[in-house]
Amino acid sequence: MPTVNDIHEAIQRLVPDDLAESWDNVGLLAGSRQQEVHRILLALDPSVSVARQAAATGADLIITHHPAIFKPIRHLLTDTPTGAFLAAAMRQNISVIACHTSLDSTAEGVSHSLAAALGLEKLRPLVPAGRGFAPICGLGSIGAYATAISAEELVARLRAHCAPPWILAAGRRPETVHCVALCAGSGSELAELALSQGADVYITAEVKHHVARWAEDAGIWILDAGHFPTENPAMPLFARELRELFAERHWEIPIGLAEQKTPLGLLWPPAA
């Protein structure tokens, strides 16, 4: 059976660690490089629940989008969420790999897949990766519709693909939509860049107050559909890519998807 190190080296073809942002923490974060891998659990977020699911299904490797260790840890305490997750994984000999902004920026990454699902064409990154990577690699995505659609149709497509519990809006709502930029997950800081590249609409999450106020005068419609809802649809696609990659190597390793939902819920008004 392939080892954790074999898996990590293989996925460099899809999500190379070098593609991650300099401030990020990706790759093998916990476990043993020499451990054999018989089953993998894929999750957007590291959590105690995910570690329990991995143990219950017999997985010996967890691959998450968000890294369990993001900032340097001075104390690893098991009565904290991070410590509890890592301890739960270590007790069961489960290794942990993170593919964060490396998955965001890859050619078929988180934002690109969302843009494609919304029907946008001629996609390119908002922030090209450069550094010798293919032009399609980078953060965010921007594209256009061959024929403009209504704002209502765009929202309907976003709801159908992401199933967000809410969608917040800021700025002027356009009658028709031609060019759309997006950054799945937290991308408030890219709103001005989206406008400068001709976007009518910018879709992201965790929009800051001053950015929403700016949108009112800037002439762009910003939609905040939530961090988890805009990113999680990419995980089944990533699982499919991993299965295809492993099949090329004749690795018969089952890949499961963790059961997770958005940690934020709508308190008021109550959901219908």
66 has binding-site annotation: yes
Give the closest residue to 167 by CA, choosing from 115, 229, 235, 232: 229
Nearest Cα residue to 124 out of 134, 113, 108, 135: 135
Question: Does the annotation flag 231 for ligand binding?
Answer: yes
Distance CA 122, CA 128 (A): 15
Sorted by sequence, the CB contacts under 8 Å of residue 136 that are 6+ apart come out as 107, 112, 123, 124, 125
Residue 178 in marked binding region = no
104 is in an annotated binding site: yes
Beta-sheet pairing, 95-98 with 61-64 = parallel
3-state secondary structure 32-63: CCCCECCCEEEECCCCHHHHHHHHHHCCCEEE
**Closest CA relative to residue 192, chosen from 167, 176, 211, 179:** 211
Residues recorded for the chain: 272
Residue 216 labeled ligand binder? no
DSSP H or E stretch at residue 7: helix 4-10
- Binding-site positions read 65-66, 104, 227, 231
- Binding-site positions for a divalent metal cation read 65-66, 104, 227, 231
